A and B are shown apart, each in its own frame.
Chain A
């Protein structure tokens, strides 16, 4: 029975409050491919099926072993001997009837041999516990097809993720602690006029105490500027003096004791950030200077067209500033004063967005596209988020692995710190090398642990030598990785499962910012690191 829209709203309510209906729509239109239904793989998929991914396809040529069932919630012991893709699909599908689950009983290598275009249909491919050769082959195919690729591996107590995406744009990054866009350092005309309508000195107590702090700061700033040669307070001393100036403006009772004026206290508290210079963030400036922004053609994606339009706005109507965001924080004020102040910012934001809209139209026309191809709604959203735009670009796996372009600096500088997680990346690379040479992982059987230590150490040394990495890896790590015996403990797989799934959701929804480009989790110390490789 298909879920009604209302029941889906109820079911997904808690996540809709994070990524909205449009984020959910993107999720429901996505088709994700998982390669290898190991515990790590099924945990990742579980966290995509539960929130309602449109469809998933598992590609796995393995048959289910007793060991597989032992750490995997989505395999049961009566599926031992059956194909793992099929077995896992059944139990994952059962989690959410809104989702469509599919499987292919095939090794990814075979698919790459016979039908490499198979992978082009997916929104995202997640490869789990892949040997290096398969990973690199897949990476190359997906890079050419511009399909995002997320590589995940649980190896003993270490979790590893690598994101491979050429260019991922984010309009709604939802930053945690964004600074407000109040323009007090350069009030636009309508704001100036609105501030003029206030005369603090002639107000009665009620109005005085319920004037928004933004107006209070603006008024006292005007006073300061007139007394300081149009120079705003810059250093701590001056800001302190400015705060004191505001404090002296607090009404006093007949006995000289200051009244309780919370709005003035708010003004004083906000002096620090309120006087920040309005400027285009460096990250956005960099985007303005990028090739995609300056070379708009017919196939150019809307993100870059809108960005270019905003750039044109900044150079023209914006007088060096981004479109006004249009939101203000709550502050002590009576309803009327607050709403009218809020409207000043809102109307300016609409005006600025309309100007950006005109630039979008003319850009589209210049490349022969209909002006309606980018909606007003999208442009408004873009303008509102213009300070927070982000673009994530990851190097290809080929670049990471090539001797010519390996990121030696990142590796050696991290390895200078004895606590760095970089050593685990190198060990995983060494283990991959071991697998290539011996067609097995080190220490899988008890009797192998001791003797594999020296073999693995050879792999470590050949790895460091091949890449001319002048770093030292303690023997303890070689021993530990032999000890792991390629185990995939469930709790580490589950940690990675949650982490990877959310990164996948970020890629699919284009909301929140994905990591770039390598993430290592160490369950021994409960620490993690993000590396650029």
Chain B
């Protein structure tokens, strides 16, 4: 609110970089060059902090969608210039109501590329580097280069993977965590009018898996309801998607593509027929699409709020300007505006960050199938398709693996065998791999009587 005619409001020299103009960073510099009563204990006012942001600090943004677009803008306008962004998706027309770096002409192009181009051209000096890739396409050498990583993901699996990756980068000396190996992870998520932002210091504060129960597993309708007892329009849609489509193969051997209007129309028509059979009302095209694609409603405003909160934390951590959020913020603006801030606690035996081998309690006569169900259904583990291996007689043995067809077929009979029959003994270590983590999780088998 300083009058525009007045000279530069913060006394200081011209910044180098060539593309800066008088007063450009005034709003930021007041927080870096002035002492204050509420700053972080480590904070020291200096003109070098801004230089650090502009020239050295490297931030990784994961996702260039609803949160990602906002994050790139927020970071760029806070002084960050060395930003990488990873996103495996291309732009869809339904993104345009909130992913403001994209235009109708960009539909079909990679989000990361378009987002980087837009920000770099709008914010002189900003050098966003795009990666049209999955996070799993990179290894530790890529992630290690960043000072802070901020996520705007729409998948819990991807979050857990990222979480696991940063935990794997931690180094310990004589059992003591080396602080320089910690890369802070700021994670944001939104759904409709609700959102959350959290600060994770891997190895020090609660990680994603420590609070897995905050994300209850997605409920799918029971098959018997869908197959023989529909009551809701959603049941009719799922009937068409899960049972009729594979049977009738209306478009050949192609799997159902939620983005194909023809496919959705087919499901919609079949769902309407089924609904008519049972006198169920409410099947609409919009509902059909929503169920098939598991659409989560989204608006610009919630993404703006959550990304802003995340970007504020990135700034605080990068500059030590203020004490960061400790450590979880919840937001909801359905009725007025509601925020709740609390400290999520670490889980003593967290399967991701506790370094404690996980306990598996089973009777030796339990079948391997039961172990598999435990790994997927347990609220703290929620694995998707775990692959279980162990060492027997000095050799590595795969007990069960789902993701490779030939191995799945070969190991499937093991599911019906008991743990004893498989040659496992009390105290045996099982190594479990899964999409939810980049590193295998070690479990210790404890036989119960």
Point out the residues of chain A lying under 8 angstroms from B197, CB to CB: 526
Contacts A445-B10, A526-B339 given: A489-B27 contact, CB under 8 Å? yes
Query: Number of contact residues on A: which range applies?
Result: 35 or more
Bound Cα distance from A519 to B124, whole angstroms = 34
B298 sits at the interface (CB 8 A): yes
B37 sits at the interface (CB 8 A): yes
Asked if A77 contacts B336 (CB within 8 A), the reply is: no
Bound Cα distance from A486 to B33, whole angstroms = 15
Point out the residues of chain A lying under 8 angstroms from B138, CB to CB: none
Question: Taking CB as reference atom, which chain A residue is nearest B92?
Answer: A10
Contacts A487-B30, A501-B304 given: A526-B337 contact, CB under 8 Å? no
A211 sits at the interface (CB 8 A): no
Bound Cα distance from A294 to B1, whole angstroms = 48
CB distance from A81 to the nearest CB of B (A): 9
Question: Taking CB as reference atom, which chain B residue is nearest A50?
Answer: B300
A441 sits at the interface (CB 8 A): yes
Asked if B329 contacts A480 (CB within 8 A), the reply is: no
Q: Which of B163-171, B308-316, B396-404, B418-426 forms part of the interface with chain A?
A: B308-316
A76 sits at the interface (CB 8 A): yes
Residue in A14, A50, A479, A526 whose CB lies within 8 Å of B325 = A526
Interface residues of A in 491-533 (CB under 8 A from B): 491-492, 494-495, 497-499, 501-503, 505, 512-516, 519, 521, 523-528, 530
A51 sits at the interface (CB 8 A): yes
Contacts A76-B122, A330-B231 given: A490-B299 contact, CB under 8 Å? no
Contacts A10-B94, A66-B21, A483-B30 given: A491-B11 contact, CB under 8 Å? no
Residue in A16, A52, A129, A519 whose CB lies within 8 Å of B337 = A519
Point out the residues of chain B lying under 8 angstroms from A17, CB to CB: 286, 290, 295, 297
Question: Taking CB as reference atom, which chain A residue is nearest B324?
Answer: A526
Chain B, residues 265-307, CB within 8 Å of chain A (1/0): the string is 0000000000000111000001001100001111111111111
Asked if A18 contacts B192 (CB within 8 A), the reply is: yes
Contacts A65-B4, A491-B78, A494-B304 given: A10-B26 contact, CB under 8 Å? no
Contacts A210-B229, A335-B280, A445-B11 given: A51-B97 contact, CB under 8 Å? yes
B48 sits at the interface (CB 8 A): no
Asked if B278 contacts A339 (CB within 8 A), the reply is: yes
B98 sits at the interface (CB 8 A): yes
CB distance from B40 to the nearest CB of A (A): 10
B348 sits at the interface (CB 8 A): no
A47 sits at the interface (CB 8 A): yes
Bound Cα distance from A491 to B72, whole angstroms = 11
Residue positions of B touching A, CB distance < 8 A: 1-4, 6, 8-11, 21-28, 30-31, 33-38, 70, 73-74, 77-78, 93-94, 96-98, 100, 122-124, 192-193, 197, 229-232, 278-280, 286, 289-290, 295-309, 311-313, 315, 322-323, 325, 329, 332-337, 339, 341
Q: List 5 A-B contacts (CB under 8 A).
A: A18-B192, A50-B100, A64-B4, A485-B34, A526-B313
Instruction: Enumerate the 10 nearest inter-chain pairs by beta-carbon distance, A residue then B residue, closest first.
Output: A498-B304, A66-B23, A498-B305, A515-B336, A494-B308, A67-B23, A495-B308, A65-B4, A490-B77, A502-B301
